[in-house]
Structure 1
Amino acid sequence: MSLLLEKKFLILTFYNIVANLTVPLTSFADVAVLGQLESHTYVAGVALSNVLFDYLFWGFSFLRMSTTGLTAQAEGNEDNKESFQILLRSLLLGLGIGVLILLSKTYLEEFGFSVLEGDEEVKSAGGEYFESRIISAPATLCNFVLTGWFLGRSKSVTVLVVTVIANLVNIGLNIWFILFLDWKAYGAGIATSISQYLMCAFFLVLLIKEKDHFFQVYHKIRIFSLKGYISLLSLNSDIMIRTLLLITTFSLFRNYSSGLGSETLAANAILHQLILIGAFWIDGAAIAMETVAGNLKGNNNLEGLRKILKMAIVSGFLISLLFCILILLPAGFLFELFSKSKPVVALAKEYGYWIAPVLIFGSFAFIFDGFFLGISEGKILRNSMIASSIIFFFPIAYLGKIQNSNHILWLSLSSYMLGRAITLGIVAYRRYFITRQRSFS
């Protein structure tokens, strides 16, 4: 049994990493292709606009996280009806939120750019990107749900195929719209929107393959269940608070970076993209942890959960270490791919070594995130994020702002990741290793 669990975890990790590799490549394409233009204003503008999208889109990424954990638990309990109920309720919720965002886009843009710091030219470029990307809101949120559901059912290959196709299309459209049609920041946003709707269409086509399982239980499914939505929203509210705090830390980091000048903002945006790529590598193991942990909770196998958690922690650390080595050795060459601006590249080289502590500390935090998401312990994730943000991040980041020090800003991000790892690790150790319960009941 232990070997089967380990094999399943490693297979899921591999497919998740391959799928995840293409996700940050879309952001990489936005920055790298825009970086080929003469001005770094467009890179900085997209970075500023992405602060808003972090709140508008990733603020609702609980739709992916909760769907994965709950679906995996239903699968572990062999409850096909509950699996499809989770899918349909979450899709309805995601579609409704996406349409509401789209209807409110004018007010969101005006308010968002009024509170963000940046030069007028940077804000103008950011506004163009915002207007063309906001139209993807319904598709983006539905994609969160569909991705989470397929992952919860251990169908990482399905997610891999859809993600690779959609993101390769995004990269191709980026090159066409920006370099050939000269649409600049607007082109980067419209390319992302098209790829999101394409991704959603592929998922829905592949969902047809599940029709036989669906027709076996459709007469038992209750989509509009008040109790079901209360349970779903209760978990989602904790994860949403956790996610909003996560976004706020990165948004403050970028906003404080903009106060150091557009060149520093552009350099930090490059380093942030590389950290995102590394995080997606590590998330291959973290998402596999979600799926396997959910399955194990569904069949009440706590001993197996302990073994997989240990394996996942080691895997996440090794992945982060490997990524840092691969990125930092040819760092100068990589930075030049992102920008033609020599001052921006020089700044990226100066601060590039901060990638290592952020990702290495982050690897432990990401694995613990996957563990608690898989067993649907949203309150633990919420409380950890509150403590890490208030104690480990905000004071140091504010010091970096008033001291005009980018090194201190990066120290705050490293400290933040360390805080998340410590707070989550302590709870996991006390609750699941010291007491040595034999089951969840």
Structure 2
Amino acid sequence: MEKKFLTLTFYNIVANLTVPLTGLADTAVLGQLETHTFMAGVALSNVLFDYLFWGFSFLRMSTTGLTAQAEGDENKKESFQILIRSMILGAGIGTFILLCMNYIGEFGFSILEGGKEVKSAGLDYFQARIISAPATLCNFVLTGWFLGRSKSGTVLVATVIANLVNISLNFWFILILDWKAFGAGIATSISQYLMLAFFLILLLKEKDQFLHVRQEIRIFSLKGYISLLSLNSDIMIRTLLLITTFSLFRNYSSGFGSEFLAANAILHQLILIGAFWIDGAAIAMETVAGTLKGNGNSEGLRKILKMALVSGFLISLFFCLLILIPSDILFTQFSKSKPVVDLAKEYALWIAPVLLLGSFAFIFDGFFLGISEGKTLRNSMIVSSLVFFLPIAYWGNLENNNHILWLSLTSYMLGRAITLGVIAYNRYFRNVERSIS
């Protein structure tokens, strides 16, 4: 399993690298315009998309863990049932979002803080990107299903193709056609539908296995949907709290002014890249942990968790050194605004504690997602958001102090690492240590 974990980690890191690069391309290309208004507008609009899309990322997370457990138990019927039920759920939610897009946009921008021009740019981006809702949510499901079956190479190819197209279209739509924020949004939408088409083509290769078990599959089993929704509801609450935390962080940033919002957006994109690197190990943890649980291997779970925690920390340390050493040169590539670049440099050191502590939190997330412990993740996130993050973030907002705001994000990562780490230790290591002694 150790070799499988390392192989999956490598493929996942390479695939994940292209995901934040898309957002980074949005930021960098928009930063080449004469004003940072469009970059700030996209950052503001992404607060809504975090809720709309990443709020439903449980479709990916639950599908990975449940599929891995079915594969570990060698239950092909259950694996296909999970895929079909999750796809129906994802397509339905995505279509509903699309039908309500005008109401969502009007309500969302009415409660977000930001200047008139920033909100206008954000709304342009929102209207262009929202049309990808059905494809985005179905891609979550398909990504999770292929990952759960240890097919990270498939996900790698699909992700790389889609995001390279997205980055290319960013340059064309924004710099050549001058579509600004709208161009960034429409580029993302096109790439999501392209990714969905690629996945569906690959599914045709699975048709023989599906036909073999199709008569045993119960697509509309009430019990099956209740089980799926129960797990998904816990993961959704956990994810919504995570999104709310980062949304509050960005919204408080906008209260400091558009230059602070743009600078924090640059740092946030860099943190996302680091998080996606670490998530390579975390997602591999989901697959391997789910498989080990499926075949009842508790000792394997302990070994792989130790290995993943060390791997995640080393990845985060390497990334921090890679980003912070050339930071003076790096930040000038994201914005032509000297005040924005200077602010980004001033607060760049906060990247290190956020990601180093975050590495433990991300790995524990992957572990508990893999074994489908949704309630554990939900409870940890409640404590981390309400106790470790919110009081410090509110203090930073009152003091109008961006350093305190970054301290709140660091404390939040610490809270996640502690709450999940204590549970993992008590459940999988404490009794073993007692029996040895």
1:215 Cα deviation from its structure 2 partner = 1.2
Partner residue, 1:51: 47
Measured after TM superposition, the shift of residue 332 of structure 1 is: 1.4
Separation in 2 of the partners of 1:25 and 1:65?
21
Give the distance between the partners of 1:168 and 1:40, measured in 2 at CA.
Answer: 24
Match of 1:133 in 2: 129
Cα distance in 1 for residues equivalent to 2:208 and 2:356 = 44
Partner of 1:9: 5
Q: How does 1:163-312 map to 2 (within 5 A)?
A: 163-312=159-308
1:415 is aligned, of 411, 415, 433, to 411
Tell me by how many angstroms 1:435 deviates: 2.3
Give, in whole Å, the separation in 1 of the partners of 2:193 and 2:399: 44
> Secondary structure in 2 aligned to 1:324?
helix
SS in 1 for 2:432: coil
Q: For the residues of structure 1 that align with 2:325 and 2:124, how far apart are their CA atoms? A: 36
CA distance in structure 1 between the partners assigned to 2:214 and 2:331 by the alignment: 52
3-state SS, counterpart of residue 117 of structure 1: coil
Equivalent in 60, 68, 86 of residue 64 of structure 1:
60
2-side partners of 1:334 and 1:287: how far apart? 28
What is the CA–CA distance in structure 1 between the aligned matches of 2:333 and 2:224, rounded to whole Å?
Answer: 49
Distance (Å, rounded) in 1 between the aligned partners of 2:431 and 2:116: 57
Deviation at 1:390, TM superposition (A): 0.7
Q: Output the CA distance in 2 between the equivalents of 1:126 and 1:336.
A: 23
Q: Distance in 1 between matches of 2:204 and 2:402?
A: 50
| CA distance in 1: counterparts of 2:175 and 2:313, whole angstroms | 38
Paired residue secondary structure (1:396): helix
Residue 436 of structure 1 aligns to a residue whose secondary structure is helix
Aligned counterpart, 1:115: 111
Which deviates the most, 204-213 or 151-160?
204-213
Secondary structure at the residue paired with 1:254?
helix
Deviation, 1:436, is 3.3
Give CA deviations for 1:114-133 in whole Å, capped at 9, x if unaligned: 00000000000000000000
Matched, 1:346 2:355: no
Q: By how many angstroms is 1:205 displaced?
A: 0.4
- CA offsets 1:151-194 (integer angstroms, 9 cap, x no match): 00000000000000000000000000000000000000000000
For residues 143 and 432 of structure 2, the distance between their equivalents in structure 1, rounded to whole angstroms, comes to: 33
The runs of 5 or more residues in structure 2 that have no matched partner are: none
Please give the secondary structure, in 1, of the residue aligned with 2:178. coil
* Aligned residue among 36, 39, 43 for 2:35: 39
Question: Per the alignment, in what secondary structure is the counterpart of residue 245 of structure 2?
Answer: helix
Distance 2:9 2:206 in 1: 23
Tell me the CA shift for residue 210 of structure 1: 1.1
Deviations 1:199-250 (A, max 9, x none): 0000000111111211110111111010000000000000000000000000
Q: Give the equivalent residue in structure 2 for 1:22.
A: 18
Indicate which of 322, 334, 339 corresponds to 2:318.
Answer: 322
CA distance in 2 between partners of 1:435 and 1:167 (Å): 46
The equivalent residue for 1:388 is: 384
- In structure 2, distance between residues paired with 1:338 and 1:59: 27
Local SS of the residue matching 2:114: coil
Measure how far apart 1:425 and its partner are.
Answer: 0.1
Residues in 1 aligned to 2:430 and 2:412: alpha-carbon distance in whole angstroms: 26
- Same amino acid, percent of matched pairs: 81
Q: In structure 2, how many angstroms separate the alpha carbons of the residues matched to 1:152 and 1:170?
A: 26
Residue type matched to 1:247 in 2?
A: I
Give secondary structure in 1 for the equivalent of 2:333.
Answer: helix
Correspondence 1:331 to 2:355:
no
The letter for the 2-side match of 1:374 is G
Number of matched pairs:
433
Q: Equivalents in 2 of 1:311, 1:212: separation in Å?
A: 37
The amino acid of 2:107's aligned partner reads: F
Give the secondary-structure state (helix, strand or coil) at the position aligned to 1:339: coil
| Structure 1: distance between partners of 2:21 and 2:374 | 29
Report the AA paired with residue 177 of structure 1.
F
2:431 partner amino acid? T
Quick one: distance in 1 between partners of 2:357 and 2:84? 36
Counterpart residue identity of residue 190, structure 2: I
What TM-score does the superposition give when structure 1 sets the normalisation length?
Answer: 0.98
**1:279 positional shift:** 0.2
Structure 2 residue matching 1:362: 3-state secondary structure: helix
Quote the Cα distance in structure 2 between the aligned partners of 1:69 and 1:332: 41
TM-score of the two chains, using structure 2 as the length reference: 0.99
Question: For 1:118, what is the secondary structure of its paired residue?
Answer: coil
Q: 2:422 aligns with which of 410, 420, 426?
A: 426
Find 2:156's aligned residue among 145, 160, 169: 160
5+ long unaligned stretches in structure 1: none
The letter for the 2-side match of 1:322 is: F
CA distance in 2, matches of 1:268, 1:401: 14
